[in-house]
Chain A
Amino acid sequence: MIARPTFTLDDLLLRAAEEHGERTAIVDGKASHTYEDLLAASDSLATALVDAGVARGDRVGIYMQKSWESIVAMLAISQAGAAFVNVNPALKAAQVAYIAGDCDIRLLIADTDKLDALEPGSVPQAFHHGRAPKQPGSTDLAAIIAAPGRGERRPLIETDLGTVLYTSGSTGMPKGVAFSQRNLVVGAEIVSTYLENTADDRILSVLPFSFDYGLNQLTCAIRVGASLVVQRSQLPGDLLRGLRQNEITGLAGVPPVWSLLLRNAKSLEAEPLTALRYITNSGGRIPQVNLDALRRLLPGTRIFLMYGLTEAFRSTFLPPEEIDRGSDCIGKAIPNTEILVIKDGRAAEVGEVGELVHRGPTVALGYWGNQEATDRVYGPNPLAPPELLEVERVVRSGDLVRRDADGYLYFMGRNDEMIKSGGFRISPEEVENLLIASGVVHEAAALGVDDPDGVVGQVVLAVISLRDDAPEDALQVIRDHMVANAPPYMAPRDIVVVDELPKGASGKLDRPAIRRAHAA
Chain B
Amino acid sequence: MAIEELQDVAETIRGWLREHVTGDRAVTDDEELISTGLLTSLQTVELVLFLDQRFGIDITDDEFVEENFNTVDAIARLVASKRG
In the complex, A125 has a CB within 8 A of chain B? no
Interchain residue pairs with CB less than 8 A apart (5): A89-B37, A232-B34, A259-B45, A479-B23, A483-B22
Is A369 positioned at the interface, with any CB of B under 8 Å from its CB? no
Asked if A240 is at the interface (CB within 8 A of a chain B CB), the reply is yes
Given A233-B66, A238-B66, A267-B62, decide whether A483 and B21 contact each other with a Cβ distance below 8 A: yes
Q: Does B63 contact A (CB under 8 A)?
A: yes
Could you tell me which residues of chain A, from 222 to 277, have a CB within 8 Å of some CB in chain B?
Answer: 232-238, 240-241, 256, 259-260, 263-264, 266-267
Contact assessment for A237 and B63 in the assembled complex, using a CB-CB cutoff below 8 Å: yes
Q: Sorted from nearest, which 9 A-B pairs have the closest CB atoms?
A: A234-B41, A237-B65, A483-B23, A480-B23, A484-B23, A233-B66, A237-B64, A89-B37, A236-B64
For A488, the chain B residues whose CB sits under 8 A away are 21, 40, 42-43
**Does A169 belong to the interface (CB within 8 Å)?**
no
A456 within 8 A of B: yes
In the bound assembly, the distance between CA atoms of A264 and B43 in angstroms comes to 18
Q: Does the CB pair A235–B42 fall under 8 Å? A: no
Residues of A within 8 A of B45 (CB): 259-260, 263, 455
Inter-chain CA distance A266–B60, complex, in Å, is 11
B54 at the interface (CB under 8 A from A): no
Kindly list chain A residues whose C-beta atoms are within 8 Å of the C-beta of B23.
479-481, 483-484
Chain B residues with CB below 8 A from A235, complex form? 34, 41, 44, 64-66, 69
Q: Is the CB of A456 within 8 A of B62?
A: no
The verdict on A113 contacting chain B, using a C-beta distance below 8 Å, is yes
Which of B4-44 touch A at CB < 8 Å?
A: 19-25, 34-37, 40-44
Q: Does A90 contact B (CB under 8 A)?
A: yes
A422 in the interface (beta carbon within 8 A): yes
Closest A residue to B36 by beta carbon equals A113
| Known contacts A90-B37, A483-B20, A483-B22; is-contact A455 B42 (Cβ 8 Å) | yes
Q: How many angstroms from the CA of A455 to the CA of B43 in the assembled complex?
A: 12
Residues of chain B within 8 A (CB-CB) of A259 are 45
Residues 72-109 (chain A) with a chain B CB within 8 angstroms: 89-90
Of the listed residues A232, A236, A264, A422, the one surrounded by the most CB atoms of chain B closer than 10 A to its CB is: A236
Q: Collect the chain A residues with CB atoms within 8 Å of residue B69's CB.
A: 235
Q: A65 touching B25 by the CB < 8 A rule?
A: no
Contacts of B43 in A (CB 8 A): 488
Which A residue sits closest to B25, measured CB to CB? Answer: A484
Interface centre among B23, B25, B41, B43 (most CB of A within 10 A): B41
B44 proximity list for chain A (CB < 8 A): 235
- Binary per-residue interface labels of chain A (476-494) against chain B in the complex, 1 for a CB within 8 Å, 0 otherwise: 0001110110001000000
A484-B25, A488-B43 as given contacts; A266 in contact with B36, CB under 8 Å? no
Among A65, A113, A233, point to the contact of B65 (Cβ < 8 A): A233
- The smallest C-beta distance from B45 to any residue of chain A, in angstroms, reads 7
